[in-house]
Structure 1
Amino acid sequence: MTATEELSMPVARTCPFAQPEQYVRMREESALHRVRIPGGKQAWVAARHEEARQILGDRRFSSDRFLPNFPFLAEGGAAILTNAKQKAMIGMDAPEHGEARREVLGEFTVKRVEAMRPRIQEIVDGLIDELLAGPKPADLVEKLSLPVPSLVICELLGVPYGDHDYFQERTMALIRRSTSIEDRKKASEELRGYLSGLVAAKEKDPTDDLLGRQIVKRRAEGNYDHDAMIGLAFLLLVAGHETTANMISLGTIGLLENPGQRATIEADPGKTLLAVEELLRYFTIVEGATARVATEDVEIGGVTIKAGEGVLVLGYAANWDPEVFESPEKLDLERGARHHVAFGFGPHQCLGQNLARMELQIVFDTLFRRIPTLTCTLPAAELPVKKDATIFGLYQLPVTW
């Protein structure tokens, strides 16, 4: 294995259409690498597709954020756990994780999500109506990318949308790497406090939404816990709007920059779901969620990862592995890349992936059907990217038509 001790993580992503050179080099040199992470610790990094799936599917790698060597990609990343009295689902291992996931899995089945389609379409159409009625140019992040998933997750959970500025500001503080430890703690405490009040209100009067239904269900089963419900609300609220919002923005600029590819789904909307899979692969916006800690010595790619050592799975690098995806730097909307790891892999694969796919499908079909002359007012290279955030995306996407 080539020694790469000088490498440090995270690596800033400065362009939506090109991988950092360090990712290319790591993938070419070896299956695994040792890197330095924030706080001065070291961890292993997997940048190839094969090893990424092996690690994410192996129960000998723990997702427990409370373990001492858990490899956070932001200094003070553990501060997000400040007043969490219980592990969130994302940080659980078997059998606890399977039990917690099964409790809520029914809310995200294909059938349940499909029932939401008319309302999501109504939300998207209403926001595009407002966009068309407003001034030009407009910021698509503000007018469409962020409001769509925010409205959807608020309605799903039973969170008042009027509070969206409050939770979005605190979410940004949590995912921005430059946030100080104290500010990260404060954002986590404030958001949990807000959700504690919301959950308490639903405990008194359960509403017909995900949180209300979970309260009723778990009480009937005799396993209801207030703090566990806060953890679930925290996870779903943060993950449910920030990730999809960034994919809407990046997917839109990806389609604008590739008009020939965009014509594929404009001519045949039946191919949009294929296009969504390729866009997910191509941009792969989340990597921190796939960090792990080995619970025993494990050999991966000819390298022994010792018990207690942290591992980072670079989904973005894995999804551009030329051994798996031919010409990975090319956006090919008919590739059908369903074996990508943009949603993770294994037992912790994204719970809300069916909902995210539907939101993206509806947005892209509706946006380009209703505004076929949509253009970006800046060169793609000048767009402000979230290079300081653990979830990659665009701060702004100025468009006109």
Structure 2
Amino acid sequence: MIGYGEWVTTAPSPQLFTQDFWDDPHPVYAAMREQAPVHRLQLPTGMEMWLVTRYADARTALGDPRLSKRVGATANAAALAPQISGPLTRHLLANDPPDHTRLRRLVAKAFTARRVEQLRDRVEQLSAALVDAMRAGDRADVIDDYAVQLPIQVICELLGIPQDDQAEFRRWTGVLVAGSVDRSGVPEAAAQFLAYLRGLIATKRADPADDLLSALIASTDQGDRLDEDELTSMVFLLLIAGHETTVNLIGNGMWTLLTRPEEHRRLLRDPSLIPSAVEEFLRLESPVETATFRVAMEPVTYGGVTIPAGGVVAISLLSADRDPARFPNPAEVDLGRPDNQHLAFGHGIHYCLGAPLARLEAQIAFRDLLAAFPTMRLAVPASELIWRPGVLIHGTTTLPVQLR
């Protein structure tokens, strides 16, 4: 049995999945990319997996139909009873065609580009209110005071979820996304989340409103509609994906600027770069470190390494998007980087349905934060910041700043 965090290679093996690794994973990933395209690892929970690290292989694997999302390939599945895991794993990211095709078609009918664009005014209002609240002091925490608040308010309003419940979502999702390294709180958090979602859906069925959840309940396609478990699972996915990733997109982007003063000044001088800057933040410090797990349904080979049938496959988006074979000078920030086809939102049939909303929120966030606090700077040395543990999500736990 291999020890967790060890590479299965003949070279000396650095430790992965430690706090030092999470605080700066890039040197380790760079060494792994150089040594081999795929590595067999063991997570702290005991799960063994094959990690894909290079861009070309990652892009291929993300769209490879031989890798299944259906067969329990989640970090938390082993920690949950079937009556809990079942209703929470019927969503888009846990299904293959034809079920995935059907689910995406039904959800896309409710989660339209038009509905997202209609949110622009409301996102701007929420952002302005958060910025105004930050102005009350000279110091703030970009994560707690802004990056957490904006996306969770947006997704809760979009779904029609009471504002008073947002703190609970943050607690539940925080436990669940860290389940790849610490499963101790996963069963309780998942059970509480499931019970809440079932009650919420029942309420919306009885009293529909003009929100996404009511639209999902009513959405049909030639008489087809989401069943109860599919609905529950889809709302579960939207709540986690709809705020966890955007929290870290905003936080990681601000960290990038605050640790690179020249690029910070460049964006202040030319706000028209914000859309391309958001893409560069996504590439450079992807908020999703590793795509949700897949299982090889037959032997598959990437870069000359064969993963056996039944192998759990993880695809490192964070590593792939710094592959020098695809991106020149990948560790450098280029706010106007051309041809920035990063993998932060995935690729293929599982490409993130919420990407337009995440981009909208992030562009408004950087516009407003930079305009309101042009002299913002870190309030502590960058070396003191702690990055979140876990295989799925990449972001700082806090980002204390001096506003003036």
TM-score under structure 2 length normalisation:
0.90
Aligned to 1:231: 233
Q: Secondary structure at the match of 2:106?
A: helix
User: SS of 1:333's equivalent?
Assistant: coil
Checking the alignment, whether the CA contact within 8 Å between 2:106 and 2:221 is kept in structure 1 is: no
Q: Tell me the CA shift for residue 160 of structure 1.
A: 0.8
Matched-pair contact (CA < 8 Å) for 1:106–1:112:
no
State the distance in 2 between where 1:231 and 1:241 align: 16
Distance 2:118 2:222 in 1: 25
Name the residue aligned to 2:129: 126
Please, which of 273, 284, 293 is the counterpart of residue 282 of structure 1? 284
Q: State whether residues 75 and 181 of structure 1, in contact with CA within 8 Å, keep that contact through their aligned partners in structure 2.
A: no
Deviations along 1:6-50, one digit per CA (max 9) or x if unpaired, are 869853464788534331221001222222234434322210001
1:88 aligns with 2:94: no
Match of 1:29 among 30, 35, 43: 35
- Equivalent position amino acid for 2:98 in 1: P
* Aligned partner (choices 185, 188, 195) of residue 187 of structure 2: 185
Taking a change above 3 Å as real, the CA distance of residues 13 and 348 of structure 1, as seen in their structure-2 partners, is: farther
State the one-letter code of the partner of 2:97.
A
Aligned to 2:3: none
SS of the equivalent of 1:399 reads: strand
Residue 50 of structure 2 contacts residue 311 of structure 2 at CA under 8 Å; is this kept in 1? Answer: yes
Q: CA deviation at 1:120?
A: 0.6
CA–CA separation in structure 2 for the residues paired with 1:152 and 1:335: 29
**Matched residues in 2 for 1:226 and 1:96: separation?**
15
* RMSD (Å) for aligned C-alpha atoms: 2.7
C-alpha distance 107-389 of structure 1, shift in aligned 2 (>3 A): same
Q: Counterpart of 2:123 in 1: which secondary structure? A: helix
- Corresponding residue to 1:98 among 95, 98, 101: 101
CA contact (8 A) 1:177 1:390 kept: no
Q: Which moved more, 1:305-314 or 1:199-208?
A: 305-314
Q: Structure 2 matches for 1:312-391, cutoff 5 A?
A: 312-336=314-338, 338-388=340-390, 390-391=392-393
| Deviations 1:189-210, CA, capped at 9 Å, x for gaps | 1011111111100001111111
Counterpart secondary structure, 1:289:
coil
Contact in 2 for aligned 1:26/1:47 (Cα 8 Å): yes
Aligned-residue sequence identity (percent) comes to 36
Return 5+ residue gaps in structure 2 as ranges. Answer: 1-6
After TM superposition, the structure 1 stretch with the greater mean CA deviation from structure 2, 387-396 or 357-366, is 387-396
Provide Cα deviations, 1:309-333, integer angstroms capped at 9, x if missing partner.
1111111111110111111111111
Distance 1:361 1:176 in 2: 27
Q: Which moved more, 1:40-49 or 1:24-33?
A: 40-49
On the 8 A contact 2:103/2:226 being kept in 1, the answer is no
Aligned equivalents of 1:13, 1:354: Cα separation in 2: 32
- Partners of 2:32 and 2:243 lie apart in 1 by 31
Flag the 1:39–1:142 CA change in 2: closer, same or farther, 3 A: closer
Residue 117 (str. 1) matches residue 123 (str. 2): no
User: 1:4 and 1:206, CA in 2 relative to 1: closer, same or farther beyond 3 A?
Assistant: farther
Please, which of 57, 67, 80 is the counterpart of residue 61 of structure 1?
A: 67
Equivalences, count: 396
1:240 is aligned to: 242
CA distance in 1, matches of 2:254, 2:117: 23
Partner of 1:221, secondary structure, is: coil
Structure 1 stretch 369-378 or stretch 388-397: which is displaced more? 388-397
Partner-residue secondary structure (3-state), 2:277 = helix
Against the structure 1 CA distance between its residues 216 and 9, is the aligned structure 2 distance closer, same or farther, given a 3 Å change threshold? farther
AA of the residue aligned to 1:94: P
Q: Give me the whole-angstrom Cα distance separating, in 2, the residues matched to 1:164 and 1:267.
A: 36
TM-score, length of structure 1 as denominator length: 0.90
Is the 1:13–1:19 Cα contact (8 Å) retained in structure 2?
A: no
1:244-283, aligned counterparts within 5 Å? 244-283=246-285
